[in-house]
Structure 1
Amino acid sequence: MSTSYDIPEVLDRREGPWGEVVLRRHGALLQIIANGCFLMDTSDGRSERRLVDAALDALDDRPAPHVLIGGLGVGFSLAHAAANSRWGRITVVEREPAVIDWHRTGPLAELTRDALADPRTEIVEADLVEYVNETSATYDALCLDIDNGPDWTVTDGNDGLYAKPGLASCARVLRPGGVLAVWSAQPSPDFEETLGNVGFQQVRTEEIPVARGVPDVVHLGVRPG
């Protein structure tokens, strides 16, 4: 008796600024692999969508807020933000040129074509850590989905975003009363404490159940008014 296995099909493989990135199709799913480590796929997206909604909910009735989404990924957060007319502007910062290409002209376009065509949407090719350190722009909300979250980063340098200096830069680019929302693959009490130590208020963690394992979470904090 023989058993057949569904082997992922490599759709594109590139050497990017931070190493190898691969786009694969595994059955009905599209997957992004970075330096041999699985990052994300198109299987669900409920926690990425909640990341955007939680930030918007925390802004109360602020008119036409401008959101910065850190990390394009497979596009769940962008597509969900663009589907909501309450957002005034949507800026996405993504450092991997290949990921941007896969959305503009590649297989991931099926998920974000409408969002990319939305006049509110702007894609910025940049490293998010450097961007928040250097930009003069300000935002009403930062929705960050970088790597696997505060406690498990795959790419060198991403951990700096979740330390005090990186969070201080996030606070700097937020307007008074602005919201920082951070996606994580697991709860992080230490990160929640760091948010408070940096000066964020109303710090809380929202859990989003997943099919298997520990829940995804969204960490939230508000810059004082």
Structure 2
Amino acid sequence: MTTLHDPDPPVVLDRREGPFGEVVLRRHGDLLQIIANGTFLMDTSDGRSERRLVDSALSALSALPSPAARRKPRVLIGGLGVGFSLAHAAADPRWGGITVVEREPAIIDWHRHGPLRELSAGALADPRTEIVEADLVRHLRTATDTYAALCLDIDNGPDWTVTEDNHTLYGPSGLAACKDRLDPGGVLAVWSAQPSANFEETLRNAGFQAVRTEEIPVVRGVPDVVHLALRPT
């Protein structure tokens, strides 16, 4: 929390009204931070959780003798954020294609032309990378492409969404759309700020198999997690 004695208060770099409310990019010391409707979403302080999201999906694929585990699998990343997941996927030559779905035009612009470019310029220039400006749930329901993996990092996970509409993604209809976009034997990986036994049960009820949760230690508080599940072959 910033106080009157803070020698380095946050500096707002850009503030925009987007299709889902206000989004702000600010700098706090060496960190870049994204704030949505007054709620902190993410910053550039670490990135281990975002990288783990991508690595866990690829590891799960590599362990499967299924069509989805072919030599050059395609991944869809839900949420561009500060770009950690995209940059990490682009740094791995095993991915054959990388599609990122982001609904906030401001965030895309900050990566293409603004301060976040320092994190994602190389990944955006990668010929495997495609950026889609769209609401993720709507895209999952209307797209026709399928992927070996979906890596979703939307809001703070199933039990704590900043935008109420995002809650649909983690319910039966959203998970049905996820399953439709996965190849047979494909992997769904979902980042969350806290474990959710209820979400694990929702995944099983939606027809996913091999549901499990990997913990990611953080400096303070409850570990971040990645929920993993497979579409049946």
TM-score, normalised relative to structure 1? 0.98
Residue 12 (structure 2) aligns with: 10
Between the aligned partners of 1:159 and 1:85, the Cα distance in structure 2 is 33
**Offset of 1:75 from its aligned partner?**
0.3
Between the aligned partners of 1:5 and 1:212, the Cα distance in structure 2 is 23
**Offset of 1:6 from its aligned partner?**
2.0
Counterpart among 166, 169, 177 of residue 174 in structure 2: 166
- Is 1:192 paired with 2:200? yes
Residue 27 (structure 1) aligns with: 29
User: SS at 1:21's partner residue?
Assistant: strand
- Is 1:176 paired with 2:184? yes
Between the aligned partners of 1:149 and 1:71, the Cα distance in structure 2 is 12
Opposite residue 187 of structure 2, the aligned amino acid is V
Counterpart among 44, 53, 56 of residue 55 in structure 2: 53
**Offset of 1:156 from its aligned partner?**
2.1
Opposite residue 48 of structure 1, the aligned amino acid is E
Residue 151 (structure 2) aligns with: 143
Structure 1, residues 147-197: CA drift from partner, whole Å, max 9, x if none?
000000001210000001100110011000000000000000000111011
Opposite residue 25 of structure 1, the aligned amino acid is R
Identical pairs, percent: 75
Opposite residue 13 of structure 2, the aligned amino acid is L
Counterpart among 26, 46, 61 of residue 44 in structure 1: 46
Residue 81 (structure 2) aligns with: 73
Structure 1 regions of 5+ residues with no counterpart?
none
Give the alignment's Cα RMSD to 1 decimal. 0.9
User: SS at 1:59's partner residue?
Assistant: helix
Residue 202 (structure 1) aligns with: 210
- Is 1:64 paired with 2:72? yes
Between the aligned partners of 1:105 and 1:69, the Cα distance in structure 2 is 21
- Is 1:84 paired with 2:92? yes
Structure 2 regions of 5+ residues with no counterpart?
63-68
Residue 223 (structure 2) aligns with: 215
User: SS at 1:13's partner residue?
Assistant: strand
User: SS at 2:211's partner residue?
Assistant: strand
Q: How many residues are aligned here?
A: 224
Between the aligned partners of 1:88 and 1:24, the Cα distance in structure 2 is 34
Between the aligned partners of 1:139 and 1:197, the Cα distance in structure 2 is 21
Structure 1 consecutive aligned stretches of length 4 or more whose deviation exceeds 3 Å: 2-5
Opposite residue 178 of structure 2, the aligned amino acid is C
TM-score, normalised relative to structure 2? 0.95
**Offset of 1:62 from its aligned partner?**
2.3
**Offset of 1:5 from its aligned partner?**
3.5
Instruction: Indicate the larger mover: 2-11 or 22-31.
Output: 2-11
